[in-house]
Amino acid sequence: MKKYLIFAASALALASCSSDDFLGENPGNVQNATTAINFGGEAGKITRATSNEGDDHVKLDNQFKVYGVKNNGTNFEKVFVDYSVWYDENLTTSNTNKWEYVGKNNQTIKYWDYSAKEYRFVAGSPINAFTYHIDHENISTIGTVIKSATVTGLAGHIKANEAGPAIKTNPVYVAEPVIVPKANYNNPVTFNFIRQQAMVRVGVYETIPGYSITEIKFYKEGETTATSNNVILTSATADYFVGGSDVKGTINYDWTKANPSYTYTYDDTGRTKSQNWYAGKLCTTKPLATKLTDEVADLYGTDKDMSTTGYFTVLPTPSETDPQPIVIKCDYTLTSDDNSGEVINVTGATAAIPAAFSKWEANTRYTYLFKISQDTNGNTGDPDKVGLYPITFDAVVTEATDKTQGTTTTVATPSITTYQEGSVTDKGIEYKPGKEIKVTVTNAETGEVKELNTDGATVGSVAVYKFTDAITEAEIQVKGITGATPVTGATIDGNVLKFTPESEGYYAIQYLTDPATPAVYTYKVVYVKAA
């Protein structure tokens, strides 16, 4: 979600690889073997501090491990055997980019061997997390020598942690394996590092005019009563969420293609599995935040495992798991702001995160923002009559280092999702004028994408309006679109509505759900902030 989720691929350059036939500072009589191995480049955006701040060496914790071999024509020979590389400001022959590997653990300088047909490299960080496994039995079989690696010390949040020590979730990066042909000797060798954890945060705010939410409690999967002040995401699928401490993983390298790859599998040992995932305890002494951009502490709650920007480090959803909608369900109390003492109790308010946004991928950040507004699927005493005050799912954010993007969704029936590249901030989502916004409409429970049209008369008809003053979806349901300006130039591409806001203001996407008289509409309001 450059992604924020977020996806991050970090580039780490390795230059001028060598033969292990030549040790020390003199390259010997090897053709053009005059340059030592050097390291440099960039690190990924998802960092141990759960922010995108800091220099590249900080993001990689100042170190990584390299294993490398060369092809002499008939078999592979080991060149780098578990070499440690560390950040050092003092430049040397083997360190031209502030990454050193000579001087510790009997590690020596290396040079390119032009009698070798190619080199192969793998890398990972942190150093102490990786154990590389070499296929000694088939070492003469080209392509199989660097077989796999074991990674230890992985961890991911899953349970509420209100009082205990914070779980240790230091990042683990795995580099895509690299083949260097002779034609590229002495050129930088680039490693693309991928963090093997994901990051998730959940925020809750409300926009109900005239009332404050003074108490909110959430349901666990399978329970009929809301009991927890901790925000709970649930799944109907058993063991959908995974986490725990000291989790192991296995990397298997595939050298059979021109662009080699790897697969990463988590061991079941040490993992916790559950239908419930805890996103932090909301403050019980003050009302919910009323704006998406309020301070993080107001929006995201508290938990010992939570970063200052609201993120939890989590283990990715297992690859074999089919993505399923994630549900949030709660009860809450509305207290009138006019000091009359009036209260309204709302029960069973539910929103679903579509399956398309519910499978957590490695090196990805997700932000789920839930808004309690004036349209509801909860009830105020009669379960057969839906009340006036709902909880609606307001945002899904996926972010990556190379494509910062933000997605905002209002989920009732149906859900409306808006997306604009580059809209993610640490405090939420900020849409900007002059950049295209894409709109999709889905079934809130199944994630099915709806067909759109602009005929104004049938289900699926969409339109965009601009309001001068601040407005919410609930207020539009009461006031209508009187005074709003229709936005021209919107187009439909497949099941996607596209429009470009020209200036700052509140833009409402209108979706026709029922053409009866009077017609029934679902709205999504997007605030576009001046650049």
Name which of 177, 173, 69 is nearest 113 in CA terms. Answer: 69
- Picking from 16-25, 93-102, 290-299, 428-437, which range would have the lowest pLDDT averaged per residue? 16-25
Q: Which of 343, 373, 399 is the last residue of a domain?
A: 399
Lowest mean per-residue pLDDT among 157-161, 179-183, 313-317, 477-481: 477-481
What's the confidence (pLDDT) of residue 87?
84
- Give the residue-averaged pLDDT of 138-166: 82
- pLDDT reading at 48 higher than 70: no
Distance CA 171, CA 58 (A): 12
In whole angstroms, give the CA distance from residue 173 to residue 42: 13
Q: Which pLDDT tens digit goes with each residue over 96-125?
A: 777 788 888 888 888 888 888 988 989 988
Which positions ≥6 away from 526 have C-beta within 8 Å?
Answer: 408, 418, 431, 437, 501, 506, 507, 508, 509
Residue 406 has pLDDT above 50, yes or no: no
Residues 259 and 261: their CA atoms lie apart, in Å, by 7
Encode pLDDT of 172-225 as tens digits.
888 889 888 888 887 776 777 788 888 888 888 887 778 888 788 999 998 889
* Beta bridge partners of residue 509, listed in sequence order: 464, 524
- Residues contacting 101, CB < 8 A, separation 6+: 37, 39, 66, 83, 84, 85, 86, 94, 95, 107
pLDDT at site 295: 67
Reduced to 3 states (helix: H, G, I; strand: E, B; else coil), residue 500 is: coil
Task: Grade residue 5 by pLDDT with cuts at 50, 70 and 90.
Answer: very low
Assess if residue 471 is contained within a domain.
Answer: no
Residues 162 and 230 in one domain: no
The two beta strands, 198-206 and 365-372, are: parallel
**465 belongs to a structural domain:** no
Q: Are residues 181 and 306 in the same domain?
A: no
- Whether 262 contacts 174, CB under 8 Å: yes
What percentage of the chain has pLDDT greater than the value 70? 75
> What integer pLDDT is reported at residue 396 of this predicted model?
40
Residue 140 banded pLDDT, cuts 50, 70, 90? low
Q: What is the DSSP string of 431-477?
A: B-TTS-EEEEEE-TTT-PBPP-B-SSSSTTBEEEEEESS---HHHHH
143 and 212 co-located in one domain: no
Q: Would you give the DSSP letter of residue 92?
A: B
Enter the tokens of residue 362.
Answer: 């490695």
Q: Which amino acid is at 193?
A: F
Q: Which helix (H) or strand (E) holds 235?
A: strand 230-235
How far apart CA 457 and CA 512 sit, in angstroms, is 8
pLDDT on residue 64: 87
Q: 377 and 319: one domain?
A: yes
If asked whether residues 205 and 104 sit together in one domain, one would say no
Is 453 inside a domain boundary? no
- 352: helix, coil or strand? strand
CA 396 vs CA 74, 102, 300, 424: distances in Å: 52, 46, 14, 11
- CB 105, CB 84: distance < 8 Å: yes
79 in a domain, yes or no? yes
CA distance 387 to 384: 9
Is 467 part of any domain? no
Residues 99, 177, single domain; the answer is yes
pLDDT averaged over every residue in the chain = 76
Final residue before a domain boundary, out of 195, 222, 257: 195
Distance between CA 212 and CA 369 in Å, rounded? Answer: 18
State how beta strands 462-467 and 505-514 pair: antiparallel
Residues 128 and 203 in one domain: no
Domain boundary among 345, 369, 399: 399
- Between the two ends of the chain, the Cα-to-Cα distance in Å is 20
pLDDT tens digits, one per residue of 242-274: 999 888 989 999 988 888 999 988 888 878 999
Residues 174 and 212 placed together within one structural domain of the fold: no
> Which domain, by its residues, includes 178?
9-195
- Mind listing the pLDDT tens digit for each residue in 482-494? 889 999 999 998 8
Do 174 and 29 lie in a common domain?
yes
Q: pTM to 2 decimals?
A: 0.70
From CA 119, how far away is CA 80, in angstroms rounded?
A: 11
Cβ atoms of 83 and 103 closer than 8 Å: no
Mean pLDDT of 30-55: 43
CB 377 within 8 A of CB 386: yes
Nearest-angstrom CA–CA distance, 486 and 507: 10
Q: Find tokens 């280092």 and name the residue.
A: 401
Q: Are residues 228 and 372 both part of a single domain?
A: yes
- C-alpha neighbours within 13 Å on the C-beta side of residue 468: 4
pLDDT greater at residue 475 or residue 315: 315
104 in a structural domain: yes
How many domains are there within the chain?
2
Neighbour-count burial of 158, counting CB atoms closer than 10 A to its CB (0-12 exposed, 13-18 middle, 19+ buried): buried
SS3 at position 14: strand
Both tokens assigned to 103: 């001087």
Best-predicted range by mean pLDDT among 337-346, 388-397, 441-450?
A: 337-346
pLDDT reported for residue 411: 41
* pLDDT over 60 (residue 350): yes
- Residue 448, domain member (yes or no): no
- The conformation of residue 420, written as its DSSP 8-state character, comes to E
Mean pLDDT on 368-374: 75
Tell me: do 137 and 232 sit in the same domain. Answer: no
Lowest-confidence pick of 308-312, 440-444, 507-511: 440-444
Lowest mean pLDDT among 56-60, 85-89, 248-252: 56-60
Instruction: Identify the CA nearest to 225 among candidates 330, 339, 118.
Output: 330
pLDDT band, very low/low/confident/very high, at 372 (cuts 50, 70, 90): confident
At which residue do the structure tokens 């109790």 appear?
345
Count of all residues that appear for the chain in the document = 531
CB 527 within 8 A of CB 466: no
Identify the residue with better confidence: 473 or 382: 473
What residues have CB less than 8 Å from 386, skipping those under 6 apart? Answer: 376, 377, 378, 379
Between β-strands 326-336 and 343-353, what pairing exists: parallel, antiparallel or unpaired? antiparallel
Which pLDDT value is given to residue 407? 47
User: Which residue would you say has higher pLDDT here, 387 or 304?
Assistant: 304
* 411 against 103, higher pLDDT: 103
Helix, strand or coil, per DSSP, at residue 261: strand
Q: 211 and 98 in one domain?
A: no
Asked if the model's pLDDT at residue 452 lies above 90, the reply is: yes
409 falls within a domain: no
Q: What is the DSSP letter of 355?
A: G
Residue 1: per-residue pLDDT: 28
Rounded Cα–Cα distance for residues 178 and 65 (Å):
14
Mean pLDDT calculated for residue range 491-500? 92
State the DSSP H helix or E strand holding residue 57, giving kind and residue range, or none if neither: helix 56-59
* pLDDT the model gives residue 393: 36
The lowest-confidence range among 92-101, 143-152, 312-321, 455-464 is 92-101
The more confidently predicted of residues 454 and 210 is 454
In the prediction, which pLDDT does 6 show? 22
